[in-house]
Amino acid sequence: MPQDRSAHSPFRDGFAAVWHEKVLLPAELSWRWCFGFSALGLGIASIALFFDSLKLTRADEFLVHTWQPQPLDSALRHILRGSLSRFLVEQAVLILGVMLLWSLAATAGRAATLRRLVAMFSMDEETQPMDWNFASIFVLQLLRVMWSLIALAVALGCLLYGLVMVRNDHALRAALALSFGIGLASFFGIVLNWYFGVAPLFCVRNGAGAMEALDQAAGFSARHAGRLSRLGLGFLTLRVVWAATMCFMFLAPLNLVASIGPRWALCLMGIVALIYFAGADVLCLARLAGYASLAVEDDARPIAEAVPPEIIQPTDFVPLVGLA
């Protein structure tokens, strides 16, 4: 992909890369949607197996159909007795399996995508061989999903603690938990998730290991802080506008339930949801391409800055320009 650094814009380069290389978007959608449908199928199967293992007596069925609070609570306690702990263990195993599945899928998909993006934005005339670095990218993706779960768990813990403090009339503790607790957990979760998401670029581009790639991602963020902030703000704006637009379209079929029926309305809502996810994946891919384009500037440094003047030896060569 030809590079004109005088008119360089990572935002424009990101969309140009997606448009120029037609195979990037299908590859990105393939690994993301394969993981999404697999995780959804595993979740539905686990819940179905749990409900299938429950034993419902006639008395429990009668109490459930009354829809009265006390009989319903008594019936649910009897139904879930001895089964709730098993369900929690199954969900814990499912979460660990989904984490591993995500790390494997993201490693393969991200390595293939980044190899193509790095080759597209490379300033070398001859394409240099690049390593896949599956192991380093896998470690980064596993750390990314683990950290995301930790941040989510801390945020939920602060939320529950704040609600308990509100019920117990401890206003100060509730305010600290609901504001600073959730805010700090979300902030550090988003920041470190960004570093873990950018670091695979340097695993492919520079052949770095996991920890070295994180260090290079931190240096990359420090050198291009302003442009990265504007790039992120631009894509965030597009993401919000896209989500708001598709939200209205997602709810629109509800007005047609009386004329087309609930099944067709659900089908239309499912199609709109798929369109939204496809557009969101396009924005994620374009943002990643923008990062790859911006990283080229680290290589576009004058040779005179890297080589001290005293090392350059004079020669007897006389250029013939203008003598003809």
Helical (H) or strand (E) element with 217? helix 210-223
Which residues 6+ apart lie within 8 Å of 240 measured at CB?
none
Pairwise CA distance, residues 77 & 61, whole Å: 13
pTM of the model: 0.79
CB neighbour burial string for 193-204, b if at least 16 within 10 angstroms, e if fewer = bebbbbbbbbbb
pLDDT by position in tens, the chain (length 324): 544 554 568 889 999 989 988 889 998 999 999 999 999 998 898 888 887 777 777 776 776 677 767 777 777 777 777 677 778 888 888 889 999 999 999 999 989 899 888 888 876 554 555 667 889 999 999 999 999 999 999 999 999 999 888 888 888 888 888 888 899 999 999 999 999 999 999 999 888 888 999 999 999 999 999 999 999 999 999 999 999 999 999 998 888 888 888 889 999 999 999 999 999 999 999 999 999 988 887 765 543 344 444 444 444 433 333 333
At residue 323's C-alpha, the angle toward residues 319 and 324, to 5°, is 120
